[in-house]
Amino acid sequence: MGRILLAGLIAVSLAGCGGRPRPEGETLEQRLAGSGYRLGERVESIRRYDLSHWEYLDKRHIVLRDDPGRRYLIEFTRPCTNLDIDNALAYSTTLGELTRQDRIFSRGPGGAPEPCPVGDIHALEKVDRAD
């Protein structure tokens, strides 16, 4: 279960299935489709108090879920090496919402936080996997 803990100026606690390994050969679209989603429109921010869970996709992408059940793709500006382990995450923000100017922190094996700069945020759309 992955969760986000307090770090920096403002943060939120998240519980989820953070460390689920995925095949490295899959494209982002295949990884999202495997979870029943596709990339939606880009959003400027996510309200911090709505976030509840996160899911690992690869070293550059995670999915955040809010309490009403919406999902967002977070794309980092560079690979983050500690996201694929069952890990607590945190983020810092000065605006009270998660934005492209913020960082998500992941703890490494030695306990030091690794900052992962947020690049883009996209809403995810549910797709029918009945095919």
Which residue in 56, 59, 53 sits closest to 21, CA to CA? 56
- Per residue in 9-28, pLDDT (tens digit) is 334 444 444 545 555 678 99
- Per residue in 66-125, pLDDT (tens digit) is 877 889 999 999 999 888 776 678 888 777 788 998 999 887 777 788 899 999 999 999
C-beta atoms surrounding 86 within 10 Å: 13
Q: Which two tokens stand for residue 90?
A: 């945190």
b/e burial code for range 1-10 (CB count within 10 A of at least 16 → b)? ebbbeebbeb
Strands 3-4 and 88-92: parallel
